[in-house]
Chain A
Amino acid sequence: MSYTEQQIADMVQPTKVHRSLYTDPEIFDLEMERIWANAWIYIGHESQVPEKGSYMTLNYGKVPVVMVRDNDNDVHVLHNRCGHKGAKLVDRPCGKIPAFRCCYHGWRYRLDGKLLGVPHLQGYDGTDFDKDDPQYSMQKMTSESFRGFVFATMNPNPPDLRTWMGGAADVMDNLCDRAPEGEVEAAGGVLRYEHECNWKMFIENLNDTMHPMIVHRSVVESALDYIKTLPEGSPRRDEAEIIPPFGASYETFEETGITGFRFGHHYDGGKTSIHAKYTLDPEYEAAMLKAYGKERMQEILSFNTHNTLYYPSLTIKSAVQNIRVVRPIAYNKTIIETWSFRLKGAPDSMLKRTLLYSRLINSNGSMVGPDDLTAYFRMQEGLQSQASDWIEMHRNFARDEKLEDRMVGKGTSDLDVRTQFSAWREYMTEAA
């Protein structure tokens, strides 16, 4: 290894980070080993494996894994690797199987990964091969779920998931509480969007409230320009509530505030956010009122966050009910997945709006996401310049307020990125 511990620690200073964090493939590999293997990484939602034998596959960093529901209804996250010669056992995005059976020599495994059978076993007689030795089973990852959201880690001594989430868990609670039945389920599929940039550029943008009025000016002005041509009394459109707030003023974003936690999590908003003024669907309101009563309903609906990051792999929008999942591929390549969720007990119009949002803002064909991505790949390319080795993050430095379990700052503070990089430094140096 060419970096010493001290050199790595020095790459993150209180108000600046070194450009190698984005441009050096070796740093990327170290991040995979030290951050991505030690943090809790989002795998999927339990509703995506609804029945015994349902599975979904994904890559955890570079490691192929499968989330599966076994015959006791327990959900496991297993390495998707045959105990014999290593073939991936399932290779579709999702499906349903009675047991795992390898396509190569037919080894069979229970749904919890235990090796069940090896064809023509007598060939092993007299050797020290033992079919019941756990090393020949599918290997299980440590996994835990919070309100149906499943995370896994390769850390042998992880903090429990709830402790790790800290105060950021409030937002995931809020997402689920927004369902009259108190539960959400994945619905309406996924978009997978290739980003030619480092994974950190995407998550650093989540609470970057200094960019929307610049980057999204074109779509906001195009929408407002068109709205102007409409005759008075034209029907209300969700799009007209979703797009224009991206052009909100610095003052408006300032008010939303940013809250950061240990392990790199943070959110913007709380009392208000760019999603706060959405029309409340009357049928949904009635269902919520019935489920929770007026006071509790108002409490749930007035907790209005924008993006919440569970560092490093998951960002959620509780008010919109969609999430984005970060899948790093290389130092300059990342896949961003967008999933939408149904609020159980809510009318179909709610999922329809969530899907509209995902399509309008996050899709490959949208008029919002591609402009963000343009900023990322320009940074990725611009940082090849050695004009300076540093990227600054001074905004509101030393003016954020430290509370017992969190830091709070104004909406345009760089508190969010400083929160991420203090976690980066902790993972990258402590875990070695």
Chain B
Amino acid sequence: MTAVITSNEKIREIEQLLYQEAACLDRPDLDAWINLYTEDGTYWMPAIPDQEDPHTHISLFYDDRVLMEVRRRNFVHPAAASKDYDVRASHIISNVQVRELDEKSGDCTVTSNFHCFLYYRDKQTPYAGKYTHELVRDGDRYKIRSKRVDIINCDATLNTIIIYI
């Protein structure tokens, strides 16, 4: 897939949204994060490279709004023992490319590379891979309709992934 050439201004706007989302996950603040998604938004982390479907193959995450709402509450629930530890992350996003663009609506598909260090329970774990965001125009801003997170070691033996990457 080749990148779509688009204006500097447009790219800037898209990048700002990706950074804003990453900042929510750095803290992490899922209450702010969820507002960046549309009502029919999804968050998907496949368990194999090039996975085609979240329903015919296992995934590490596949949350729609319902599960995002449950996870948002669970993440700060005082009885969740696995959340009894500080969770801190640092995301770097680069290689942002617009792959598809509907000139009329402004809706677009954007890919980017990310590196994320996640600190959890005295351990720092690096994750790296590719994001694919589907963005839709909502008034004067963009919202995320879907985010696909392909970590490069998705099919390896992994430990707990305590939060969205």
| Chain A residues close to B by CB (< 8 Å) | 187-194, 196, 214-215, 217-219, 221-223, 225-226, 229, 237, 239, 243, 335, 338, 340, 348, 351-352, 355-356, 358-360, 363-365, 367, 369-371, 373-375, 378
Contacts and interface: CB of A to CB of B under 8 A. Distances in A.
Contacts of B74: 218-219, 222, 367
Contacts of A363: 58-61
B156 to A, nearest CB: 7
B58 A374 contact: no
Nearest to B63: A365
B57 to A, nearest CB: 5
B161 interface: yes
B49 to A, nearest CB: 12
Given A222-B74, A365-B61, A215 B81 contact: yes
Interface size on B, as a range, is 20 to 34
B157 A367 contact: no
Contacts of A355: 55-59
Given A193-B158, A370-B160, A371-B81, A222 B58 contact: no
Given A217-B79, A371-B82, A359 B161 contact: no
A335 B45 contact: no
A192 B73 contact: no
A365 B159 contact: no
A374 B85 CA distance: 11
A373 B80 CA distance: 12
Q: Nearest 8 CB-CB pairs, A to B?
A: A218-B80, A222-B73, A218-B77, A192-B157, A222-B74, A370-B82, A374-B81, A365-B61
A223 B70 contact: yes
A219 B70 contact: yes
Contacts of A367: 70-71, 74, 80
Contacts of B156: 192
B81 A375 contact: yes
A352 B57 CA distance: 8
B77 A226 contact: no
B79 A351 contact: no
B48 interface: yes
Nearest to A230: B66
B69 interface: yes
A364 B58 contact: no
A199 B70 CA distance: 30
A374 B60 CA distance: 18
Pick the most buried of B56, B69, B70: most chain A CB atoms within 10 A of its CB. B70
Contacts of A340: 58
Contacts of B36: none
Contact of B58 (A189, A218, A335, A348): A189
A374 B56 contact: no
Nearest to B69: A226
B117 interface: no
A281 to B, nearest CB: 14
A188 B58 contact: yes
Contacts of B62: 359
A191 B47 contact: yes
A243 B74 CA distance: 12
Given A237-B66, A375-B81, A378-B81, 10 more contacts: A188-B57, A190-B47, A194-B158, A214-B79, A219-B77, A222-B77, A335-B157, A338-B58, A348-B56, A373-B160
A194 B82 contact: no
A359 B58 contact: yes
B16 to A, nearest CB: 27
B73 A226 contact: yes
Nearest to B83: A218
Interface string B19-39: 000000000000000000000
A237 B70 CA distance: 13
A239 B66 contact: yes
Given A188-B56, A189-B58, A359-B58, A226 B45 contact: no
B13 interface: no
Contact of A358 (B56, B58, B61): B58
A364 B159 contact: yes
A422 B10 CA distance: 68
Given A365-B45, A365-B61, A373-B82, A352 B77 contact: no
A226 B70 contact: yes
A237 B157 CA distance: 30
Nearest to A229: B69
A193 B58 contact: no
Given A218-B74, A222-B74, A365 B60 contact: yes
A371 B80 CA distance: 7
16 contacts: A189-B47, A189-B57, A191-B47, A191-B58, A192-B156, A193-B157, A194-B157, A214-B79, A217-B79, A219-B70, A243-B70, A335-B157, A359-B60, A359-B62, A371-B81, A373-B160
B162 interface: yes
A352 B70 contact: no
B50 to A, nearest CB: 12
A333 B30 CA distance: 31
A108 B73 CA distance: 57
B67 interface: yes
A369 B162 CA distance: 11
A352 B55 contact: yes
Contacts of B82: 370-371, 373-374
A363 B161 CA distance: 9
Interface in B75-114: 77-84
Contacts of A219: 70, 74, 77, 80
